[in-house]
Amino acid sequence: MMTQSLRTADRARKTDFEILGEWETEKGNRLMLKARRLTGYASVWLYYHGHPVKIGYALHSSGVVREVRWETHWREQTETWKATQRRHIASLIAAWHADLPQTPRAELPPSVVGTFDIDGFRFAVEPTAASEHAVLNVVGTTGDLTPVADLLHEDGRICGMATRPGWKSTPNDRKRHWRLESEAILTRAARLGRL
């Protein structure tokens, strides 16, 4: 009986939406962002005649927005408008993630050859079965690995990097930082015979 009620309470915590914040657009429309704990999903709502109407959603991992998609009638907004809303969304999700209770760092798989931190997020480099291929992952709070980019390398020296879907809009300066950190990890791993 006790475990049943604990499971029910846990399920309720996962399904309850939290309002992460509200903001106003240049034209005076009021938007709201809602998300659920332990998911990588947040929804964007517009107050229309006093009632919230869903106009889009964001996919995120470890506090980093991977992708923002808009409902049909909102896809025609300008790129500037979309970029402005994405900045609001990314800021709210990062702040919300930073306020979540932090769990101790989980053990990473033994295949990970190194990690690095950027802007409060932890990344892990993991070689694959192909000797010239590795994957760059963002490390979630529970130690789960979410691939963000594929790395082609020759003895650790990166020859090419391709971001995964949902991460393609990552700014180029951040991608360059990923590449430099990953190359340092891979060249060290190659020198130690771990590739």
Residues 83 and 147 in one domain: no
Three-state DSSP state, 124: strand
In a domain, 107, yes or no: no
Q: Closest Cα to residue 125, out of 133, 135, 117? A: 135
Residues 78 and 120 in one domain: no
In a domain, 3, yes or no: no
Query: pLDDT tens, 161-189?
Result: 999 998 888 888 889 999 999 999 999 99
Residues 70 and 119 in one domain: no
> Would the pTM of this model clear 0.85, i.e. be above it?
no
Residues 120 and 186 in one domain: yes
Give CA–CA dist 136/115, Å, rounded.
Answer: 9
Q: What angle do CA 149, 142, 1 make, to 5 degrees?
A: 140
Query: pLDDT tens, 44-95?
Result: 999 988 889 999 999 887 788 888 999 988 889 999 999 999 999 998 988 8
Parent domain of 133: 114-191
Residues 64 and 87 in one domain: yes
Residues 120 and 61 in one domain: no
Residues 83 and 23 in one domain: yes
Q: Closest Cα to residue 158, out of 181, 138, 124? A: 181
Give CA–CA dist 187/91, Å, rounded.
Answer: 34
Number of domains into which the chain is organized: 2
Three-state DSSP state, 117: strand
Residues 143 and 183 in one domain: yes
Q: Are 118 and 177 in contact (CB under 8 A)?
A: yes
pLDDT(114) > 50: yes
Q: Closest Cα to residue 153, out of 176, 177, 130? A: 130
Residues 120 and 183 in one domain: yes
In a domain, 54, yes or no: yes
Residues 19 and 89 in one domain: yes
In a domain, 144, yes or no: yes
Residues 76 and 125 in one domain: no
In a domain, 38, yes or no: yes
